[in-house]
């Protein structure tokens, strides 16, 4: 029974134990039938879990059609690729918990570089004065950065699939850092906007690859807390941006000093990554292992028999386009769970970026705050995000079925509606003390963090080896919405029941999905079949 709550490979064997008490031929027939079902299920689940362990969320193979599944005798006759040895220390899944947590913190720090997206908003007036531009053009400074987020995942994703996590992160972070330098030295608005776009294009790499990296090193039963920390960093960066930018914009320093601060933080993050981040993508590591074994092989036949599955994959341009462009949007069209989650997270993401426009109106224009004081208000969002991360950590300690990941969103969804109306009503009137809308930012931060952590964990546990494609589609749509700065209070109210609906009907929806492996549902179904066989055996 433990299999329902554990990622292990062993199925319950009660049907075999019960059969020892029955010797009738009918019992043997039932037992043999059950054994065949268990064997097929074991093989199917073992294949799903092996591919999840090898590819994380970046499986290069599309889900097999039932009519194309190979028979056991066909599989056994084919040469086997190089795999991990038992307790292989080179397998990222077998690294120590301390090492895994250090890598989780490192990728989270790299993701906190999101500060770059919102920090310049505090210096908008000084940039307008410097380049003699309108407020609409100035708003593009953030929008083009997020527009880079739309296209970036479709390059960093397949790049990490071909070459591994570290090379793509190294190139992306280095180029991102250099483009920040271009922003600090920009002589005109055109240069600033172009460098902002490419900065966002490369900056999205830790965000788009981070989920796959966590899947590389963490098994499902330990991934929840790590995902909570990583997801918290996704929006802690934008929250810290106005805080840093406000103090710089209000000081005697030039507006471009904001970009110099971002440059220093990005350079430090890149240096830490280059020194301490190892390769974690199992197919690339196994490819290196196969090369070592071929060098050790004596005969040409032995060398030819040694290969890694990654070496057999189709990395032609057409195949890459299929996996990186066609598959994500195919999932977005065919997967109801991904569609609704993407819509909801896009709305929530839009609310987060709308705060950068709404809070200055509330606190600067109506309550007379300075830029630095307005930046301090964003600490409330950070406090709420921290509280949300702590609560989500509690929800994610135990490895559950995918729908159990929705507890956080079930708390966060109504809290987001409350926080949005609280901020809107109290921020509208100057007669209301400034503390009232300031406290509302804590509720908003709490809600946003819970919703993001909960739903992103839900996508990982739902799509497993295809979660990278789900994340690519989700990130692209979400960033496009964020680039438009919408304030969707009505849509928030309409979408608030989403986590509750998924909690009740999510398993049924996953059962009809092409891309969701549904390992827990397969086991539950087999346990029901096993119970029916046991009843039949007792009746004989």
State residue 16's pLDDT score.
37
Residue 527 has pLDDT above 60, yes or no: yes
Task: Answer yes or no: are the C-beta atoms of 287 and 171 closer than 8 Å.
Answer: no
Is 358 or 58 the better-scoring residue by pLDDT?
A: 358
Residues 6 or more apart whose CB falls under 8 angstroms from that of 385 comprise 232, 235, 236, 239, 445, 446, 448, 449
CATH superfamily, domain 93-282+313-514, is MFS general substrate transporter like domains (1.20.1250.20)
Reference 53, options 165, 164, 217, 207; nearest CA is: 217
To the nearest whole percent, how much of the chain has pLDDT over 70? Answer: 79
Reference 403, options 523, 227, 521, 526; nearest CA is: 521
Is 504 or 66 the better-scoring residue by pLDDT?
A: 504
Task: Answer yes or no: are the C-beta atoms of 407 and 395 closer than 8 Å.
Answer: yes
On average, the pLDDT of the chain sits at 78
pLDDT tens column, 442-500: 999 999 989 988 888 888 788 877 777 777 778 778 777 766 544 444 455 566 677 77
Is 34 or 101 the better-scoring residue by pLDDT?
A: 101
Q: Where along the chain do its domains lie? A: 2-63+523-539, 93-282+313-514
Q: How far apart are CA 141 and CA 145, in angstroms?
A: 7
Is 381 or 20 the better-scoring residue by pLDDT?
A: 381
Q: Which of 117-131, 157-171, 229-243 has the highest mean pLDDT?
A: 157-171
DSSP conformation letters of 522-533: HHHHHHHHHHHH
Reference 178, options 274, 270, 276, 248; nearest CA is: 270
Least confident segment among 50-59, 346-355, 486-495? 486-495
State residue 113's pLDDT score.
75
525 band by pLDDT with thresholds 50, 70 and 90: confident
Q: How far is CA 185 from CA 87, 182, 253, 264, 534, in A?
A: 51, 5, 14, 14, 75
Q: Average the pLDDT over 325-345 and give the result.
A: 84
Least confident segment among 10-14, 90-94, 476-480, 502-506? 10-14
To the nearest whole percent, how much of the chain has pLDDT over 90? Answer: 23
Task: Answer yes or no: are the C-beta atoms of 421 and 489 closer than 8 Å.
Answer: yes
Any idea of the CA torsion for 496, 500, 502, 506, to the nearest 10 degrees? Answer: -170
Residues 6 or more apart whose CB falls under 8 angstroms from that of 302 comprise none
Whole-structure pTM value? 0.74
């Amino acid at each position: 029974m433990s299999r329902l709550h554990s990622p292990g490979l062993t199925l319950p064997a009660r049907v075999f134990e019960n059969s020892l008490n029955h010797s009738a031929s009918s019992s043997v027939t039932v037992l043999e039938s059950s054994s065949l079902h268990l064997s097929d299920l074991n093989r199917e689940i073992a294949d799903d879990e092996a591919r999840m362990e090898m590819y994380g969320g970046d499986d290069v193979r599309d889900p097999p059609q039932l009519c194309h599944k190979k028979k056991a005798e066909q599989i056994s006759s084919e040469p086997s690729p190089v795999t991990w040895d038992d307790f292989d220390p080179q397998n990222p899944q077998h690294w120590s918990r301390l090492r895994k947590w250090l890598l989780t913190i490192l990728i989270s720090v790299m993701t906190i570089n999101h500060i770059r997206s919102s920090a310049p908003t505090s210096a908008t007036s000084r940039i307008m004065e410097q380049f003699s531009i309108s407020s609409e053009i100035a708003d593009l400074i953030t929008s083009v950065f997020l527009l880079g987020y739309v296209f970036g995942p479709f390059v960093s994703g397949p790049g990490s699939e071909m070459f591994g996590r570290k090379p793509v992160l190294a190139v992306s972070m280095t180029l991102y850092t250099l483009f920040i330098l271009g922003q600090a030295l920009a002589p005109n608005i055109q240069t600033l906007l172009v460098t902002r776009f490419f900065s966002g294009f490369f900056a999205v790499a830790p965000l788009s690859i981070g989920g796959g990296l966590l899947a590389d090193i963490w098994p499902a039963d330990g991934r929840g807390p790590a995902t909570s920390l990583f997801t918290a960093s996704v929006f802690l960066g934008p929250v810290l941006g106005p805080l840093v930018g406000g103090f710089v914009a209000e000081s005697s320093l030039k507006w471009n000093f904001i970009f110099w601060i971002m440059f220093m933080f990005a350079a430090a993050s890149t240096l830490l990554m280059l020194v301490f981040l190892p390769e974690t993508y199992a197919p690339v590591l196994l490819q290196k292992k196969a090369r070592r074994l071929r060098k050790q092989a004596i005969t040409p036949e032995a060398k030819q028999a040694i290969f890694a599955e990654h070496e057999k994959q189709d990395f032609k341009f057409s195949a890459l386009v299929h996996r990186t462009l066609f598959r994500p949007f195919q999932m977005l069209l065919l997967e109801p769970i991904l569609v609704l989650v993407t819509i909801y997270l896009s709305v929530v993401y839009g609310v987060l970026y709308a705060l950068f426009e709404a809070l200055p109106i509330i606190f600067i224009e109506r309550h007379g705050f300075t830029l630095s004081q307005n930046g301090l208000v964003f600490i409330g969002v950070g406090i709420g995000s921290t509280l949300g991360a702590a609560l989500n950590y509690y929800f994610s300690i135990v490895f559950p079925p995918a729908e159990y990941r929705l507890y956080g969103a079930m708390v966060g969804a109504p809290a987001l509606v409350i926080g949005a109306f609280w901020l809107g009503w109290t921020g509208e009137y100057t007669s209301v003390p400034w503390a009232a809308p300031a406290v509302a930012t804590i509720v908003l931060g709490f809600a946003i963090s819970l919703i993001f952590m909960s739903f992103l964990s839900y996508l990982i546990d739902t799509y497993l080896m295809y979660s990278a494609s789900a994340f690519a589609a989700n990130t692209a749509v979400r960033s496009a919405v964020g680039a438009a700065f919408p304030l969707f209070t009505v849509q928030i109210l309409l979408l608030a029941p989403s986590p509750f609906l998924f909690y009740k009907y999510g398993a049924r929806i996953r059962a009809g999905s092409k891309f969701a492996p549904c390992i827990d549902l397969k086991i539950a179904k087999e346990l029901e079949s096993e119970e029916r066989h046991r009843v039949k055996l007792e009746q004989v």
